Amino acid sequence: MPKLPKYTLEFDEQRKRWELQNDATDKVVKTFPTKDDATKRDALRKAVGPDGGSVKIQKKTGPYHEERTYPRSRDPRKSRG
């Protein structure tokens, strides 16, 4: 199984918005006005696209809050934590 693309959802202090960034290309895939808008329903799943990916979600202060895998069926079977 090929590796999942990795993304990070983080707050941009200058632009005052949440940005979903592709870790490999450093390009912003999608922006959201609030963290709630980004994490509700299927917003992140739609943003990473049909191939899916792994999304690390940061807190506004910097450290990571959680990590989600889309689609859920591609979540690794064995993982720490």
User: H or E stretch including 47?
Assistant: helix 43-48
In the chain, the number of structural domains is 1
Identify the residue with better confidence: 76 or 44.
44
Question: Which range of residues forms the domain containing residue 56?
Answer: 6-74
Q: Looking at the domain assignment, is residue 38 inside a domain?
A: yes
Q: What is the pLDDT of residue 62?
A: 83
pTM: 0.84
Q: Distance between CA 34 and CA 5 in Å, rounded?
A: 23
Q: Looking at the domain assignment, is residue 80 inside a domain?
A: no
Q: What is the pLDDT of residue 5?
A: 92
The position carrying tokens 């994490």 is 39
Cα 70 to the center of its chain, rounded Å: 9
pLDDT in tens, 15-58: 999 999 999 999 999 999 999 999 998 899 899 888 889 999 99
Q: What is the pLDDT of residue 70?
A: 84
Q: Which two tokens stand for residue 34?
A: 């609030």
Q: What is the pLDDT of residue 77?
A: 67
